[in-house]
Amino acid sequence: MPTPHPEFVYLDGQIVPWDDAKLHVFSPAVKYGAGVFEGIRGYWNEDENQMYVFRVAEHLARLRYSQIMMRFDRIFEPQDVETPMLELIRRNGHRATIHIRPTVFVDGYQESAATGPIGMFITSFERPASSYLQTGCSVQVSSWQRLSDRAMPVRVKANANYNNSRYAGIQARVDGYDTAIMLNDRGQVSEGPGMCLFIVRGGRPLTPSVTSDILESITRDTVIEILDADFGLSTTEREIGRSELYAAEEAFFCGTAWEVTPITSIDGLAVGDGQVGPITKRLQDRYFDIVHGRVADDRGWLTPVY
């Protein structure tokens, strides 16, 4: 059964019916993946009858950076994206957790190095939490290497970068795992196909540093902040060797889509006792309270929609 889609999409200045949101097959966006995007979540708060979008400013700052790195002829500033994004959510009338995807792309029928004309579309889609949140997931250390910053800028959330993630993610599933962890070109732990990684060793959280060829994740930043300010646990950001993964007491992924997802096994070896770890569980609960606006938004991370 096809997934039900929302009624409207934002495309180049207009909110249009889903079926009318079309790009030409010959556009560099289609031919070469010449585009950059953001994945942002909105959380429905039932008691307040309100939708809160999480860390809009940080996502749109990253989208701006991505556009500059792509040398686009036209740059969509945060406000140029935020206004239609909030309008689209209202028009689609979402009252559930959603995933929002603003994409800035090269349109027209130019060659691969074209830097314009530039278009923008935004989609908003209901996206319920994954069952892995409760059960944890099984992970394969991938034989596919994470992109090197010398080959494709890893901090740019470019559509084309995701072919790298696809190879690793699909291979993991074919081999019977839920998803993958990729190592970088120096053989150190990098990240998952669309999410960052934390491990806990000796009661201390560790995560690959921003020079480990990761996307500079906004959820990673959120998790570091919550662990520190709310739990008094300071995270060490450093290179992590592959064999450290098998010594971890706890491990979890984090990301906008993956939220805080426990990892219960790596390459068939149980992480800790193979159950969701206590720090992971506590962090998950706190994360969901914060993103849903069930606790005071002291950090100014939430944007109300309605």
Shortest distance in whole angstroms from residue 194 CB to ligand PMP: 4
Judged by beta carbon, residue 114 or residue 218, the one nearer ligand PMP is: 218
Distance (Å, whole) CA 155 – CA 110: 26
Q: Is 212 exposed, middle or buried (0-12, 13-18, 19+ CB in 10 A)?
A: buried
Q: How far is the CB of 154 from ligand PMP (least distance, A)?
A: 8
Residues 72-102 as b/e (b if ≥16 CB within 10 A, e otherwise) read beeebebebbbebbbebbebbebeebbbbbb
Taking Cα atoms as reference points, which of 36, 11, 35 lies closest to residue 87? 11
What's the closest the beta carbon of residue 222 comes to ligand PMP, in angstroms? 7
Residues 6+ apart with CB under 8 A from 82: 56, 60, 303
> Which residue in the list 22, 31, 157, 281 is annotated as catalytic?
157
Two structure tokens written together for 45: 């708060």
Output phi, psi for 72, to 5 deg.
Answer: -65, 145
* 157 annotated active-site: yes
Beta strands in the chain (DSSP E): 8-11, 14-17, 35-37, 40-45, 50-54, 98-106, 118-126, 137-141, 179-183, 189-191, 196-201, 204-207, 236-237, 250-255, 259-266, 269-270, 302-304
| Residues facing 50 on adjacent strands | 45
Cα 162 from chain centroid (whole Å): 11
Q: What is the C-alpha to C-alpha distance for residues 92 and 289, in angstroms, rounded to an integer?
A: 25
At residue 21's C-alpha, the angle toward residues 18 and 23, to 5°, is 150
Site for ligand PMP, rule CB under 6 A = 39, 165, 191, 194-196, 215, 217-220, 255-256
Closer to ligand PMP by CB, 114 or 245: give it.
Answer: 245
Q: Which two tokens stand for residue 35?
A: 């585009």
Smallest separation (angstroms) from ligand PMP to the CB of 227: 15
User: Which residues are tagged catalytic?
Assistant: 157
